Structure 1
Amino acid sequence: MSTPRGEGPFAKLDVASVWGDGKTVAADGSQIDTWENNLLAETSIRYGGYGGIAYRHVSNTYIALFSRFIPCGVWEAVYIIEGLLRNESDIQPDTIHADTQGQALPVFGLGALLGFDLLPRIRNWHDLIFYRPDEKTRYAHIDSLFGDDAVDWDLIENHWSDLLRTAISIRENRLSSVTLLRRLGNHSRKNRLYRAFRELGRAIRTITLLRYLSEPQLREQITQVTNRNEAFHGFADWLMFGGKMIGHNDPDHQEKVVKFNELIANCVIYSTACDITDAANDIAAEGRPVDLDDLATVSPYITHTVRRFGNWTLDLTPPEQNPTTRLDLEPRVLFPA
């Protein structure tokens, strides 16, 4: 199995477009064990283990786009924007799903300025505050959702140029989004930039919560894509057959282990997607119908066809025969030439 370059070959598969449009990504972490005596390792209260966190961005097409190995004690939300900014694949999502760890008020504000739509799956979201557009605004049927606080639009307007300069600096790679969001933690309440990002985040998060309430399809999408991210963690963990503990204290080596594990998982997903394409075309060639809705439920995280303990070789030579990328289920109807 040759290694695909980035997500280019995978994005060209018709079956990938059946699974998703590539515009949506889910970000989540998975705990990986390490040796105790190193600078990164901590006890994870959330995951119940000791080591670090493999924080991954997984597309709604099942493929992983970006990963980082981070400490257990950090708020995962600070890494959510970085994965999208450093993503160099052909798949460029603009919608981010995450869990409770992947959201915070400054992250909502920064994501909006950078053109990303943060739509997390928040635990106990009904305990969050819905901010009014102004103190006098009242609603006929949903007023009980809102508290007494209103968005301070004057604060946002006064610091709008600062917010834009910060977002441009991050987009131009002059400032790390991780560094900024770490500085904009709760301990920065007196910081004017933090207060401006927080206020913008209050407005954006209120809109997001209202969308979550009013759009059943959005709720289904968030659940579906975040579940795929969690399934990728299990799939990648299954492929780490050489040992599930990172036996090295070098941070660069630890990062490589996580990224190489992701690369192997992506290669297997690509190979399985090609097999699914061939199988669907064979069924259609026999005259039997292949329903796209059924095909969309077939996950490429298939393990029983993978020989984990076979010979793993790196072959960079282009294959003699290009894999079939087209789904020929209904010629000239499903995918026009």
Structure 2
Amino acid sequence: MGDGRRQPNPKINYWRLLGSPRRHPNLPAEAGEHLAARAALLDGTYREVAARVPANSQIVFDDDGRLHFAALEPEPEPASLRQLREAVEAMLPRVDLPQALLEVFSWTGADQAFTSVTGGEARLKDLHVTIAALLVAHSCNVGYIPVIGATDALKYGRLSHVDQTYLRLATYRAANATLIDYQAAIPLAQAWGGGLVASVDGMRFVVPVPSVYARPNPKYFGRRGGATWLNMINDQAAGLGGKVVAGTPRDSLYVLDVLYDRDGGKRPEMIVTDTASYSDIVFGLLTLAGFAYAPQLADPPDQKMWRIDRAADYGAFQDAARGRVDLARIERHWEDILRIIGSIHTGAVRAYDVIRMLSRDGRPTPLGDAIAHYGRIAKTLHILRLADEPGYRRQIKSQANLQEGRHSLARKIFHGRSGQLYQRYQDGMEDQIGALGLVLNALVLFNTRYVDAAVNQLRADGFDVRDEDVARLSPFVRHHINMLGRYSFHLPDLPGGLRPLRDPGTADDE
């Protein structure tokens, strides 16, 4: 059976795509008017931003006319936010990790997504308990021993059978979709964001066993090989999907594949990545595919800005805008561009293979160069917006920080065997990291619901709860969840639907 991912034909001749009729539904068949509109947008944006430069304290130009950004000031943390955070965290009920998973299953029915690979096996008694145990075993990287128990659902034979028969990438993805949708409906998640901003970044794992699916990189893995979990998270803190890749390749090769192969949730509109994911071709492909690409740019002076009109006077940006976009080159290749984007959109090819196809010996092909020229328009608009809107820079930084917070929680969960991934094969890596991703989403949902309940209780008690402070509460709090030692798989009766919140005045050791 398949794993639920988009499956392009591995034997396809990608150049034959240029003769295919596929088109992206949101791109015009003729380039002329579309490119004229892009040119007008770029020209107008240059002029508007240049007019505001005298009042803009966030940017300076050096003697060579290159653009520099002032460092963003840290967002102030008011006393009201600190007080709210302390009160909320003191109220969160303490649970073992498996109890949190079982409770999330009881709310969402996500455990029903785990079906037998044979399609015909009767539903096992207490299957949800076995699934919770296996998720703990894999996501915590501790194996079966700490979760084995005396009940039938926790015996070794049962764990092994369910692991081989019910847990696979397709069922992880289906369960994730349920969790993502449930969490998105909670008011607190909606206070964090609308689900339309997402970031894609990599989390590195040392792979200490011999594997052709691991690659060396001394910076991250020392003398051993390793793999990267390239994963996507939206602004509501829900993990939308991911992909395990060997070593530490440029994220830009895989960003589009991760975007198009998400487990669930809304289709993101704005995509945040780190600097390593940036290239002009990727800018072009993402923009053509309908995404607003917003990578962090580590060193703006090294980022060439581009113009279309050689004669235009862009004021303070005149020297910075030293590159020229060739619209005629884009127009000559427009039909092929449409077919490439259409093929990615329909899943006929992986974007990874297209990006590799568009370059040869480190240099873009003529088609790749045309897409890069298109991308330079979007890149320059992005730089201009970074220069003009500190709030835009802060939004990008905030989303990147959110993903760092998720990776930090993932490290706490994946604590066994020194946090190293002991899987030799791609399928094993994908399955184990799939368990980690699902547990992360379950804990984010658990926290979202309980923090939301705590905020509501504080409001009812007359506590000064400000909406702007609520929006800055973390979905990744973890002190109340035990992830170590042996685990309890007993879920108490919860007649009110949730556990009682703790009294914030109760001492921590009680």
Pair in the same fold by TM > 0.5: yes
The structure richer in helix per residue is 2
Deviation at 1:118, TM superposition (A): 0.6
Q: 1:323 to 1:72 in 2, by over 3 A?
A: same
Name the structure 1 match of 2:3.
Answer: none
Aligned letter for 1:300?
A: P
CA deviation map 1:135-162 (0-9, x unaligned):
3233222212122x31010000111111
Q: CA deviation at 1:226?
A: 0.3
Letter in 1 for 2:262: N
Does 1:173 find its partner at 2:347? yes
Q: Of residues 375, 383, 392 in structure 2, which corresponds to 1:218? A: 392
Answer with 1 or 2: which has the greater Rg: 2
SS in 1 for 2:243: strand
Distance apart, 1:171 and its partner CA: 0.6
In the TM superposition, 1:112-191 aligns within 5 A as 112-147=287-322, 149-185=323-359, 187=361, 189=363, 191=365
1:210 is displaced (CA, Å) by: 1.1
Is 1:43–1:72's contact at 8 Å kept on the other side of the alignment?
yes
Residues 81-136 of structure 1 show CA distances to partners (whole Å, capped at 9, x for unaligned) of 11111124123211100111111111110111110011010111221111121332
State the Cα distance separating 1:29 from its structure 2 match.
Answer: 0.8
Residue 8 of structure 1: aligned partner = 181
Alpha-carbon distance in structure 1 between the residues aligned to 2:495 and 2:288: 46
Q: Match of 1:119, SS? A: strand
| Pairing partner for 1:22 from 195, 213, 221 | 195
| Shift in Å, 1:197 | 1.1
Alignment of 1:292-307 (within 5 A): 292-307=467-482
Asked whether the 8 Å contact 2:179–2:445 carries over to 1, the reply is no
Task: Compute the displacement of 1:72 (Å).
Answer: 2.2
Matched, 1:65 2:65: no
Q: CA offset at residue 287 of structure 1?
A: 2.5
CA spacing shift, 1:31–1:63, aligned 2, 3 Å: same
Quote the residue 1:97 is aligned against: 272
The change in CA–CA distance for 1:157 and 1:32 in structure 2 (over 3 A counts) is same
For the residues of structure 2 that align with 1:48 and 1:126, how far apart are their CA atoms?
Answer: 31
Q: Return the letter of the residue paired with 1:102.
A: S
Q: What is the deviation of 1:188?
A: 5.7
Q: Deviations over 1:193-225 (max 9, x none)?
A: 211111111221111111111111100001100
Determine the C-alpha separation between the residues in 2 that align with 1:229 and 1:121. 13
SS at match of 1:129: coil
C-alpha distance 25-313 of structure 1, shift in aligned 2 (>3 A): farther
**Aligned match of 1:274 in 419, 432, 449?**
449
Residues of 1 paired with 2:441 and 2:243: CA distance?
Answer: 15
Q: What is the DSSP-based 3-state SS (H/G/I as helix, E as strand, rest coil) of the residue aligned with 2:463?
A: coil
Q: Is the 8 A contact 2:358 2:364 kept in 1?
A: no
Alpha carbons of structure 1 residues 141 and 254: separation in structure 2 relative to 1, 3 Å:
same
C-alpha contact 1:18 1:296 (8 A) present in aligned 2: yes
Q: Distance in 2 between matches of 1:177 and 1:261?
A: 25
Name the SS for the 1:247 alignment partner. Answer: coil
- The answer to whether the aligner puts 1:31 opposite 2:207 as a matched pair is no
Give the residue type in structure 2 aligned to 1:301. Answer: F
Q: How many angstroms does 1:249 deviate by?
A: 0.2
Identity over the aligned pairs, expressed in percent? 23
User: What is the TM-score when the length of structure 1 is the normalising length?
Assistant: 0.89
Partner of 1:328: none
* Alpha-carbon distance in structure 1 between the residues aligned to 2:275 and 2:450: 36
Specify the code of the residue in structure 2 equivalent to 1:34. Answer: V
Deviations 1:13-64 (A, max 9, x none): 1100111111101111111111242112222355354411111111111121
Match of 1:334 in 2: none
Check the 8 A contact 1:18/1:295 in 2, yes or no. yes
Q: Are 2:340 and 1:238 equivalent residues in the alignment?
A: no
- 1:27–1:96 contact (8 Å) kept in structure 2: yes
1:41 aligned residue: 214
Q: Indicate which of 362, 372, 385 corresponds to 1:198.
A: 372
| CA apart distance, 1:167 | 0.6
Give the whole-Å Cα distance in 1 for the aligned partners of 2:370 and 2:186: 43
Q: Which amino acid aligns with 1:23?
A: L
Question: What letter corresponds to residue 268 of structure 1 in structure 2?
Answer: L
Distance change in 2, residues 1:85/1:190 (3 Å): closer
1:313 Cα deviation after fit: 5.5
The answer to whether structure 1 residue 311 and structure 2 residue 487 are counterparts is: yes
Q: Distance in 2 between matches of 1:228 and 1:85?
A: 21
- Please report how far the alpha carbon of residue 166 of structure 1 lies from its aligned counterpart in structure 2 after TM superposition: 0.8
RMSD (Å), alpha carbons: 2.1
Q: AA paired with 1:161?
A: E
**What 5-or-longer segments of structure 2 have no aligned partner?**
1-102, 111-177, 500-510
Greater relative contact order structure (CA < 8 Å, 6+ sep):
2
Q: TM-score, normalised by structure 2?
A: 0.60
Counterparts in 2 of 1:48 and 1:35: CA distance versus 1, 3 Å: closer
Alpha-carbon offset, residue 304 of structure 1:
0.5
Task: Tell me, in whole angstroms, the C-alpha distance in 1 between the residues paired with 2:181 and 2:282.
Answer: 29
Shift of 1:7: 0.5
Report how far residue 163 of structure 1 moved: 0.7
> Taking structure 1 as reference, are residues 19 and 46 closer, same or farther at Cα in structure 2, changes over 3 Å only?
farther
For the Cα contact (< 8 Å) 1:11–1:91, is it kept in 2?
no
Query: 2:165: which partner in 1?
Result: none
